[in-house]
Amino acid sequence: MAAVYHGERLGGDFYDFLRVSPHLVLFGLLDVAGRHEENQGIVSAAQETFRELGPKLFNGDGVNEADAMVELSLQLNRTIMRAANGVRSCPAFAGCYNEFLGTVCYSNAGHTPALLRDRTGVTRLPATGLPFGLFSHVTHDAPIAALEPGAALLLVSRGVTEGKCGGEEFGLERVESSLDDAELAGAENLCIQVLDSVERFMCVPPTHNDVTALALVRNPNSPGGGEA
């Protein structure tokens, strides 16, 4: 698993991943609306909740990953509203990768769909609820996606899809094409390939917004491991 960020911080992109049990890795990508100087406190509060609650919710024998993900999403949502002192839209994607099973339990709170590439092609993992920061009691579904050995999961921030050239946006379809054409030599390499494709499309370094990619590549030679 790896994340790559292009350029200087402009907006509210926040990504993180941490091991929460011997076989579970929690990860997330959030995009707080507004400029970086306006939302540093919100991002810091969200990261604190993510890191404090994650190990508590997902650790222990027999943990129900879906229930834990629903609760984590609820608490992240409330943290963002408290830190913002009101409404502040925050599209987010949080996932928990099970190394034993090769599955990802996830919550997509109005974020750009995650993309799953395997032998069948590229599949979108769309929103399972509203963005965080809008309603204090909103709940999110937590479905599970399976990653076969050699499969890859890719997350990109809004700044990637909104990169423009001549008034035309890069768009999610081009992200899909970049993922489909990429050489899966590792998670960091995949992120770099995707962000490079955005820069080639724009013909200039992207400075319009935060541009972030996060990827998980399952080791094709190991039935129970992800590549870090």
**Straight-line distance from the first to the last Cα atom of the chain, in angstroms, rounded to the nearest whole number:** 4
CA 217, CA 188: separation in Å to the nearest integer?
9
- Reported as a single tens digit per residue, the pLDDT across 23-72 is 999 999 998 876 666 788 898 999 999 999 999 999 877 899 999 999 99
Give 115's contacts (C-beta < 8 A, 6+ positions apart).
122, 123, 124, 125, 153, 154, 155, 175, 176, 179
Q: Could you give the C-alpha distances from 113 to 53, 70, 167, in angstroms and in order?
A: 24, 18, 23
pLDDT value at 13 more than 90: no
Q: Can you tell me which residue has the tokens 């913002």?
A: 84
CATH number at residue 218: 3.60.40.10
Average pLDDT, the chain: 88
pLDDT of residue 225: 46
- Structural domain of 95: 2-227
CB 141 within 8 A of CB 129: yes
In 3D space, the residue among 73, 63, 49 whose CA is nearest the CA of residue 98 turns out to be 63
Whether 214 shows a pLDDT value over 80: the answer reads yes
The number of domains in the chain is 1
